[in-house]
Structure formats: C-alpha cells, structure tokens
Structure 1
C-alpha cells in the first residue's frame, strides 16, 4: 500500500462512488482491478449513465471486453448493444490531435458529456487506464498537472472518472502524488476492508463480513483500548458510512463493543438507516446510533 493511501480521507469502496467523483485506483498482479472496474461499469449502466472504458493500451478491445464480462448479469452485454457502453483509447479520444495536452483531453471530455446529456443519459462515467501515458510518449509532469487541475470537469456532478494506475509502470513518488491529487481513493478489490483510525474515530471502509471479521474485530479492540476521544469530548465513534456489506458476525461485535465501553468513555456508531436496522435487531441501543441518510 502507498503511504498516501493509508491515510487518504476520501478512501471508499467502488460501490460508494457517485456522480462527480474523481477517483484514484492503484493496481498490480495481486489486485488487478478488473472486479472494481466491472462494478463501476455495471453501476453506471444501472443508473442510466453513459460509460466509456479506456482500457490498458497493451490489451486488445476483445481482451478488455472479456475482463469486463466479470460484472454480474447480462447488463454489460446489453450496454454494448445499446451503445451505452463504449470501449475506446486515449489515442481515439484526442483525435485529430496526435499529441496529448490537458486542454485537448478536457475539451473532448466536455464534448462527450454534452453528447451524453443530449442523448438523455443521467451522467457520464469513464474508466481511464493511465497506461496511455507511456503509449503516447506523454510527459509525466504534464499528466500530473492534468490530474491536479481537472476539478472543473466534476463540479456539476454529471461526470465521474476512475484513473487506474498500474503500480509496476509508475515510480512510487508519482503514485503517491497522484493518490493525494484525487479527492477519492478506491479500495483495490471488491470484498476488501480498510479500517482507518482518526482522532477517536475508526472509519470502517469496505466489506465487514466473515472474510474480514478478524481485521474488523481488531480495529474495534484498538479503538476501545488505545484511541482517545477528541479534545473536549468523551465519546469515540465507529463510522460505517463507507461500509458496504455488514455481516451478522461483525454487527454482533459492534453491539458487544457498545456494551464493553466504559460509561465515562462511550462509543457511538455513525451509520445508514440500513445498518441501523440490522444493529437494532441484534440488540444495539438506538440511542447509541447516529443515523445519516
């Protein structure tokens, strides 16, 4: 894991990525990223968005299509048929220009967004594999500048983008800088869990289920044992707002945590209505829950 990923405040699972997000994804052989991209594509199609995938230049269109078929159901295949889902490349996007510039790429993305609006789509989302940098012989500094100054593309919430970086093809300082430059940082695979401690709060990001129970339970134990509440407050918090699936075992461990917390240093749980319903069913005190949404 990159140093910047561990503490990135915008880390989230791809299932929580919404319109207007500009996200960093770092992948390698251990986490090739195709399950994340397939879920991103599937979600966009289900929401009625136009989806364009700029795959790794080393792969053919048939190979990219095959990997995206990992998405569940027939929705991806039907997306091709309706032209809601397209496969492209950075070379194609910037034509007739041959050389990459940020202005040319931005112009084309704006044009694609306007076309998607005119066609009645609810948004435009793209997956951009950053292998295009080497493929086009582009300058790394120019690419990094584009990433840092691309915020205007996302301000109206219509456009969203994943920038996928193969960690084997970029220097680590570049990856760290690009992770920090993106408001969102995606978990590297579906089913992954990351627990981030921050000033008396543990943020539970990803899937809290049987496979990740040990990591989840350890994070709660660390919160109870070592985490101090913020200055002036006695309460510690478990934040589930970026948690996807919450399994019964992990939910039960949360209820036990509420019971174990000392009266002078209670724990509160920040969560969605869906997770609150589960927690209350297995015995959580509703007064200990801060329900959002």
Structure 2
C-alpha cells in the first residue's frame, strides 16, 4: 500500500512464512505462479495459527478458481472455507468506480473485520490483497501512499497482518518505489529462495537454507570479516547448514529464533549469551516463534 519519500528507509525483506501478527508487508511480483505459491504459504500459516484468512483477488478471479489454485498447493480450502476460517473475495474495500478511493472507509473496514474475527474465536486476522484496483481512476499515488503509511496505528492496536500485492507490470516503477518505501516489510518474491544481505560486518539471511540453496549459503557465511550472522529471517534451515555455521572460523555471533536455537543446540552449539523476547501481539496471539537468541560460535 504505498507511499514514500526520498530517503525513506528500505523495507526489511522477509520470507512469507516468517510474517506474523502486526506485520505490514509488500509483495511486488511478476510471476503469477510464484504469487499463488506465496498465497498458499501465507494461508497455511494463518490457518495453523488460528487466524481467519481473507484473500482479496483481482476482479476477474472468482472465489472457486482461487480456492482451486490454493488447493493445488496443498491448502485444505474446502474445509477452511466451509467453516469460515478462509474467505476469498474479489471486491476492493474503500474503492468503487463511482466514488473513487475512501482511505478512512478502507481502514475502518480492516478494524471491523478484525473485531469480527476475534468475536468468532480467532486469534487474529491476516489479509492478502491484490492492489490492482489502485490503478483505476479516482486513486492518486499520493492518496495511496498516504493511506499505506497511515496504517501503523491499526497494526499496533489489532492482531492484524496484511500482505499487499503489487504486480510490477501494472504499476509504474516510480509508484512502486514509493509503495515499497512505506511498507515496513517486503516479502521475498520467490518461494524457496535464499537472500543474503551484507551490511558492514553483519550478514542477514532470508528464505530457505537447504540443499537447493546450499552453495549460496556457504559462499555467504564464509565471507571474510563477518562478526554477526542473523538467521531470524530464515523460514527453514537444514542440519547441514547448521553444522556449517558451527564450523565457521573466527567465532561470529549468531542471532536466531528460539526454534533455530534448539536446532543449533542439538547440533552442538554452545549456550546462548542472551535471549530477547519482544512484547506484542505475536507473543499473545499466534504463538509464533518470536524470541531472539544470540550465541557465539567458539
């Protein structure tokens, strides 16, 4: 959902599986198949955490077609749709061709449907929405970016998660840049990918560290001068990659989630130097693995 100014911070890249309640993320994509794979992972995670999942497609995609596409990736769509855990719509809350875009109405809609999800016993609401409606008449780039950047209070107040989907072929590069800048998070556009982000003596890994990405993983973690490696952006890491980390010379500090720490310990890692547990909806609601653990390889 967009907006941005020169000098705005770069969004933090995350794997879709690492999204949790309170996150506001942007997915800018080209491949529709990859997008459906990400939607499926997004939906599966929400169902597993007891959240209601709402998927807003483009106007041409009907509910039945969307459910079939999700089912192709293993989502139990028939049961989830029947009992209200999953809802697919092709509407655009807050926008219609006659009256244009009403940012307040759209924001109010999210608050209302989150309240409804909580009233029905769900731990929260997660929404994925195709933003193609924002290309229509009556929606200016300034209005869109202002709306997107003004959603922070909603995410702080409610157990609400949103992934905004922007097709790179539908939006200008200039508007996409503004859109990305106002989202705190950017979703890795390809499932199963590994991204390595180096900043000074720190390395952050995002995505999957497994057989398919092993070469890139080893090249990245063996770069000279690394003092800290952040693993918290990984959706998956296999035992081989863990043992590679534990054999690194120089003793870099490893920042990891609590689940990753348990795997590291099973593979022979030392005890942690400290544990940091952020407080927020993620701690109270979905039970996601939100704590951070720091240990040093010896």
User: Per the alignment, in what secondary structure is the counterpart of residue 169 of structure 1?
Assistant: coil
Residue 279 of structure 1 aligns with which residue?
Answer: 264
1:54 is aligned, of 53, 56, 67, to 56
Q: Where in structure 2 are there 5+ consecutive unaligned residues?
A: 1-5, 277-290, 292-298
Aligned to 1:232: none
Asked if 1 retains the 8 angstrom alpha-carbon contact of 2:16 and 2:187, the reply is: yes
Moved over 6 A (4+): none
Q: What per-residue deviation string (whole Å, max 9, x for no partner) do you get for residues 50-88 of structure 1?
A: 2211112232333222222234352x3211101221112
Do structure 1's residue 45 and structure 2's residue 30 form an aligned pair? Answer: no
- Distance across 2 between alignment mates of 1:44 and 1:97: 34
For 2:234 and 2:41, locate their aligned partners in 1 and report how far apart those are by CA, in whole Å: 16
1:238 to 224, 229, 236: 229
Structure 1 distance, partners of 2:23, 2:222, is: 33
Within 2, Cα distance between the matches of 1:92 and 1:217? 45
**TM-score, normalization: structure 2?**
0.81
The correspondence for 2:20, drawn from 7, 18, 21, is 18
Higher helix proportion (structure 1 or 2): 1
Which one scores higher on RCO, CA 8 angstroms, separation ≥ 6? 2
Partners of 2:61 and 2:136 in 1: CA distance? 12
SS in 2 for 1:240: strand
Deviation at 1:31, TM superposition (A): 6.3
Distance 1:172 1:186, change over 3 A: same
Task: State yes or no: 1:87 paired with 2:88.
Answer: yes
Kept in 1, the 8 Å contact 2:94–2:103? The answer is no
Where do 5+ consecutive residues of structure 1 fail to align?
A: 228-235
Distance in 2, Cα, partners of 1:287 & 1:117: 39
Equivalent residue for 2:165?
164
Bigger Rg over Cα: 1
Superposition RMSD in Å: 2.6
Number of aligned residue pairs: give it: 270
Q: 1:81 to 1:220 in 2, by over 3 A?
A: same
Q: How does the TM-score come out when normalised to structure 1? A: 0.82
Name 2:282's counterpart in structure 1: none
Q: Judging changes above 3 Å, is the alpha-carbon distance between structure 1 residues 133 and 141 closer, same or farther for their aligned structure 2 residues?
A: same
Contact in 2 for aligned 1:270/1:289 (Cα 8 Å): no
Which range is displaced more, 163-172 or 138-147? Answer: 138-147
